[in-house]
Amino acid sequence: MAKKNPTKGFPAPPKVEELMTGTTVFNIPFPHDLKTLKKMSPLVIKHPYSVEYIHSYGQDSPFFAGLANKKLLGTKCKKCDTTYATPRLACTTCGRETEWVELPQEGRVHTFTTCYFGSEEFLKETPFHLVLVEFDGVNTLLLARLIGPEGPADIRIGMKVRARFRRNSQLKPTDVYFVPAG
């Protein structure tokens, strides 16, 4: 009995066009015995990956506008006067709405850490120091980079630090960093 040819009388199916981008591989070993495939080493490929990410700062926008204008902004509760170095639009003590206030640009190291590893964005800058800065009259701390001291032995709890701002704002929290004051 002759086999039926399902494509007989029809044009050949189109082929997907070959691409000249992405990973190009040649001669990947492949066994005759499929049972050995479970012992195969994982294939690892590399390719560029990027996304455009549109992110709204929403009610935090004034904080970033402040950084771009070399001002450090926090918020202050209209009712109980609790002042936040990392701005919050509602008071976590009493729940009332807060208002924007300018923070002092000098403070003290409350605590610090030196990072020898970091996320992809910061990895190339390691090691770097992070400090929690305390300000007079402000109830919460601000996390920022401390630039200047070479190693952790050069940083002291309570040492005075001063805010500095990137000349070209990136509209990111890293627009502000601290240096030893005086």
Contact 167, 176 (CB under 8 A): no
By CB under 5 A, is residue 126 in contact with Zn ion?
Answer: no
User: Is residue 142 near Zn ion by the rule CB under 5 A?
Assistant: no
Bridge partners of 108, per DSSP, are 134, 160
| CB burial of residue 144 (10 Å; 0-12, 13-18, 19+) | buried
Residues in the chain: 182
Strand partners, 161: 107, 180
Would you count residue 73 as binding Zn ion (CB under 5 A)? no
91, 138, 144, 146: residue in contact with Zn ion (rule CB under 5 A): 91
CA 48 to chain centre: 19
- Segment contacting Zn ion (CB under 5 A): 22-30, 40-48, 70-78, 122-130? 70-78
Q: How far is the CB of 123 from Zn ion (least distance, A)?
A: 39
Q: Under the criterion CB under 5 A, does residue 90 sit at the interface with Zn ion?
A: no
Which pair of structure tokens corresponds to residue 162? 């001063």
Note whether 92 binds Zn ion by CB under 5 A: no
Q: Of 98 and 163, which CB lies nearer to Zn ion in the complex structure?
A: 98
Given the rule CB under 5 A, which residues bind Zn ion?
77, 79-80, 82, 91, 93-94, 96
